[in-house]
Amino acid sequence: MTSNTNTLDRDRGILIVLSGPSGVGKGTVCAALRKSSPDLVYSVSATTRDPRQGEIEGVNYFFKTRDQFQHMIDNDEVLEWAQYVDNFYGTPKRFVEDTLRSGKDVILEIEVQGALKVKQKFPEGVFIFLLPPSLNELQNRIVTRGTESDESIRSRMTVAVDEIRLMDHYDYAIVNDRVETACSKIQSILIAEHCKRERMYPKIVQWINEVK
């Protein structure tokens, strides 16, 4: 073990970023993860888009006006933000930082531009890209969801292709053909990430120092 070995702080939680085109099923996979991994903490984003039917303030999103959203940006309250189609989306910073510091893993479900900004600030984060079984299937899923206008569907499909082009920046890619399978793959990734050698260095160094 050399003195310049990279170490990860094992007392800090892991930041997981989950991206993937609109309609790929990130929300469904996250809902399944919530059940199967209750210790994983979900970051609730702020957005200027209108709530969809059934969405709850503070659970699905913090719904903001454009002025309120701009105020958050001006006050450095967001870890990252991005414009997606016609709306703004951003990750509240304080919550993520406090939760990681408390040792819990945090998952962000965000689009690619925002994920790339997070990567600059948290290169040690774990970046997972969720893929649809095919682009046709993706379009079917957005249409079947019934929440988007024809124009929004077209925009989301265009953005989807642009997003898939950027998946090189991610550590893992998972095809969401079955929610349970995708969910257990993410759990496996997290188990492996927690076992990373670098996470153990601070503890081992402490052991060695105690023996010396």
Interface positions with ligand 5GP (CB under 6 A): 22, 26, 45, 49, 80, 82, 84, 89-91, 109-111, 114
| Residue 14 or 107 having the CB closest to ligand 5GP | 107
Q: How far apart are CA 72 and CA 76, in angstroms?
A: 6
The least CB distance from residue 87 to ligand 5GP, in Å, is 7
The bridge status of strand 15-19 relative to strand 45-47 is unpaired
Bridge partners, 95 (sequence order)? none
| Residue 27 or 103 having the CB closest to ligand 5GP | 27
**Close Cβ partners of 92 (under 8 Å, ≥ 6 residues apart):** 43, 44, 45, 46, 62, 72, 77, 78, 79
The least CB distance from residue 2 to ligand 5GP, in Å, is 38
Shortest-Cβ-distance residue relative to ligand 5GP: 114
How many C-beta neighbours within 10 Å does residue 5 have?
A: 10
Structure tokens at 92: 């509240």
| Residue 164 or 199 having the CB closest to ligand 5GP | 164
The least CB distance from residue 80 to ligand 5GP, in Å, is 6
